[in-house]
C-alpha cells in the first residue's frame, strides 16, 4: 500500500481556470500550425490528458493478494490439489478512483506480459481462454494491452500423477477444472460469475532448462467468433504461471 497522498494535496483533481484554458489553446495552435485548424475535440483531449497526469502524479492505492493451496495424497502417487486466488486493488479517494497501474489481467498463458511491464500489471493465466475472452480486463490501450481489472478471483481443482520423480528429470501429468474471472469494478464483482474450463497437461522439470510443459483446455463460457473454438493450447516455459 502507498501513503494516501490525496489527503495532503490541495488540488488532487485538475480543473483548469479560464486563463489556463486559453493558454492550452494557444499552445495547441502553435503545435498544430495554421494549416491544421484547432477543434473542440483537440482541446478536450488535451485537457483530459492534463487532468489524468495531475490526478495520478502521485499514485496511491492499497493492494491485497490472497492465495490458498491444499494438497492431498489420494493413493500411491496420485495427488489432489485445490487452489484459490483472489486479488483486490483499492482506492483511498473515490474522486480520484482506482490507479491505472498495478492492476490484474486474466487469461492466456500468463507469460505474455511485454505490454504490462510499465504498468506493473499482474498477468494471470486462465487455461482455456485468451485475455480477449475476459471482458473484465477492460478496453485495449494504445500499447496493445488491456486496461486491467481492479479485482479478480480464480479457483482450481487438479489431479496430478508423477511419471518420474528423478531429480534430473521430474515428469508429471495433470488434469484439472478451473473457474475464474476479472471484474471492472467492485459493483460488478460476483464470485459465482466465473469463466469455467477443464483440460489436461504435462510438466517436465529439467535442471538445465527449468520447467517445460503444456496445457490443453476447453473454455465452456466462451463467446465463439470466427475460427476460435472452445479448445486452447498453452505452452509453459521456465516457470509455472499464476
Least confident piece of the model among 78-92, 130-144, 155-169: 130-144
- Do 69 and 45 lie in one domain? The reply is no
Averaged pLDDT for residues 225-229: 70
Q: Identify the bridge partners of residue 37 per DSSP, sorted by sequence position.
A: none
- Do 161 and 46 lie in one domain? The reply is no
Work out the mean pLDDT of the chain and round it to a whole number. Answer: 85
Residue 157's H or E segment, with its range, is strand 151-166
- Per-residue pLDDT at 63: 95
- Do 109 and 193 lie in one domain? The reply is yes
- Do 77 and 130 lie in one domain? The reply is yes
- Do 200 and 167 lie in one domain? The reply is yes
pLDDT, tens digit (0-9, with 9 covering 90-100), for 196-214: 999 999 999 988 888 899 9
* Alpha helix (H) residue ranges in 58-115: none
- Do 182 and 120 lie in one domain? The reply is yes
- Per-residue pLDDT at 144: 60
The pLDDT confidence band at residue 163, using thresholds 50, 70 and 90, is very high
Q: What is the CATH number of the domain that holds 154?
A: 2.40.160.50
- Do 42 and 74 lie in one domain? The reply is no
- Whether the pTM exceeds 0.75: the reply is yes
- Domain total of the chain: 2
Domain that includes residue 47, residue range: 5-55
Looking at the chain, the whole-number percentage of residues with pLDDT higher than 90 is 38
Cα gap 183→9, rounded to integer Å: 30
Cα gap 154→191, rounded to integer Å: 9
Contact predicate 55/14, CB 8 Å? yes
242 contacts: CB under 8 Å, gap ≥ 6: 85, 110, 122, 123, 124, 125
- Per-residue pLDDT at 73: 95
**What cell numbers appear for 108 in the block?**
492466456
Give the residue, 157 or 167, on which the prediction is more confident.
157
Q: What is the DSSP string of 179-238?
A: EEEEESSGGG--TT--EEEEEEEEEEEETTTEEEEEEEEEETT----TT--SEEEEEEEE
- Do 137 and 203 lie in one domain? The reply is yes
Averaged pLDDT for residues 93-105: 87
- Per-residue pLDDT at 94: 84
- Which residues in 162-195 are b (16+ Cβ under 10 Å) and which e? beeeeeeebbbebebbbbbbbbbeeeebeeeebb
- Do 28 and 77 lie in one domain? The reply is no
pLDDT, tens digit (0-9, with 9 covering 90-100), for 7-58: 887 766 667 777 777 887 888 877 777 777 778 888 888 877 777 777 777 8
- Do 197 and 91 lie in one domain? The reply is yes
- Do 107 and 190 lie in one domain? The reply is yes
- Do 85 and 153 lie in one domain? The reply is yes
Amino acid at each position: 500500500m502507498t501513503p494516501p497522498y490525496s489527503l495532503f494535496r490541495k488540488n488532487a483533481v485538475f480543473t483548469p481556470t479560464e486563463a489556463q484554458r486559453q493558454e492550452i489553446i494557444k499552445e495547441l495552435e502553435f503545435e498544430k500550425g495554421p494549416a491544421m485548424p484547432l477543434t473542440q475535440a483537440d482541446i478536450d483531449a488535451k485537457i483530459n490528458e492534463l487532468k489524468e497526469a495531475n490526478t495520478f502524479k502521485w499514485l496511491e492505492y492499497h493492494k491485497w493478494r490472497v492465495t490458498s493451496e491444499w494438497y492431498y495424497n489420494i493413493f500411491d502417487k496420485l495427488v489432489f490439489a485445490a487452489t484459490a486466488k483472489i486479488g483486490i486493488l483499492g482506492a483511498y479517494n473515490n474522486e480520484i478512483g482506482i490507479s491505472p497501474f498495478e492492476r490484474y489481467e486474466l487469461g492466456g498463458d500468463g507469460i505474455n506480459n511485454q505490454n504490462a511491464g510499465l504498468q506493473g500489471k499482474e498477468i494471470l493465466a486462465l487455461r482455456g481462454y485468451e485475455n480477449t475472452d475476459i471482458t473484465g480486463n477492460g478496453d485495449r490501450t494504445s500499447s496493445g494491452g488491456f486496461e486491467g481489472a481492479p479485482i479478480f478471483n480464480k479457483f482450481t481443482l487438479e489431479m496430478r500423477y508423477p511419471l518420474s520423480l528423478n531429480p534430473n528429470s521430474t515428469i508429471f501429468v495433470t488434469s484439472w477444472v478451473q473457474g475464474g474471472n476479472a471484474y471492472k469494478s467492485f459493483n460488478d464483482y460476483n464470485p459465482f460469475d466465473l469463466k469455467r474450463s477443464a483440460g489436461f497437461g504435462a510438466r517436465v522439470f529439467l535442471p538445465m532448462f527449468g520447467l517445460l510443459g503444456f496445457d490443453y483446455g476447453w473454455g465452456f463460457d466462451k463467446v465463439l467468433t470466427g475460427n476460435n473454438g472452445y479448445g486452447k493450447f498453452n505452452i509453459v516455459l521456465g516457470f509455472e504461471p499464476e
